[in-house]
Amino acid sequence: MLAHLGRLGGVIRSPQRTLRKFLWRGEGRLWDILPWLVVVTGAVAPTRAGRAVLLGRVDVIDGLLLFGNLVANRMLYPLLGLVVAASILHLMDRVRHPSEVKVGFDIALDTVAYTLIPYLLLAAVGAGLSALGMDLWFMPHHDLRAPGWYGVARVLVAFGWPAALYLFLVREVCRRPALCPTVGARIVESSTRVVARRWWLPTRS
């Protein structure tokens, strides 16, 4: 439990060092984040979550389906963004380092998942302030699909911090030295070998 909380807190306290460990050492776990998606969903929509719990006391399956639908509605965009961002990070490493891919899709997914921690934190804080009577309209516990500038402001607040963390991961992948020769280097190497065989190797009489 302490290791779990340490990984979560590390993203806030020392994000660069923590994300480097997740990216290059594979120390991140997607399962660290998934339970908090459920918890924060219950915090930002307590009425619907309570309705799902009450329904679950009568019919467990219906209660789970209702709560699952609530999680899907609230966390659809973050989860879709997570999959897309992880795919891009994996493809970047595969294109730049085809002979030695270190960032597999599983590692990319585990690492990028931690960039959602600021979003979950802000949503939980917004829900807590709202419960205390200090509701802030721009906090991401509100519906992100609001019209006009309301929706734009909420999206910026919700995903500005995670986007900065993701750009750091992109920079890390781009800064990793390319271990495979480029196309031009391969052409030069092949030409050199042909010339060596033609002029330097002994021929049969």
Q: Say what percent of the chain tops pLDDT 70.
A: 85
The residue behind tokens 């020392």 is 14
What pLDDT, in 10s, does the model give residues 114-166?
999 999 999 999 999 988 988 888 888 887 777 778 788 888 888 899 999 99
The string of DSSP codes covering 76-131 is: HHHHHHHHHHHHHHHHHHHHH-TTS--S-HHHHHHHHHGGGHHHHHHHHHHHHHHH
User: Using an 8 Å Cβ cutoff, are 33 and 116 in contact?
Assistant: yes
pLDDT at residue 102 tops 80? yes
Give the SS3 label for residue 180: coil
Calculate helix-pair angle for 105-113, 148-175, nearest 10 degrees. 130
Contact residues for 67 (Cβ-Cβ < 8 A; gap 6+): 38, 49, 52, 53, 56
Q: What is the mean pLDDT of the chain?
A: 83
Rounded to whole angstroms, the Cα distance separating 63 from 73 reads 15
Q: Is the pLDDT of residue 4 over 80?
A: no
* Span 52-79, average pLDDT: 88
Q: What is the distance between the alpha carbons of residues 128 and 39, in angstroms, rounded to a whole number?
A: 13
User: Is the alpha carbon torsion for 108, 113, 118, 123 positive or negative?
Assistant: positive
pLDDT of residue 100: 79
Q: What is the pLDDT of residue 201?
A: 44
Of residues 107 and 96, which shows the higher confidence score? 107
pLDDT of residue 155: 86
Tell me 135's DSSP state: -
What pLDDT is attached to residue 46?
Answer: 86
In single-letter form, the type of residue at position 11 comes to: V
Q: What is the mean pLDDT of residues 178-185?
A: 49
Question: In 26-59, which residue ranges form alpha helices assigned H by DSSP?
Answer: 34-44, 46-58
199 has a pLDDT exceeding 60: no
Predicted pLDDT of residue 109: 93
In tens, the pLDDT along 23-36 reads 988 888 888 898 89
Report the range of poorest mean pLDDT among 1-5, 46-50, 56-60, 93-97: 1-5
Angle at 163 between CA 168 and CA 84, to 5 degrees: 95
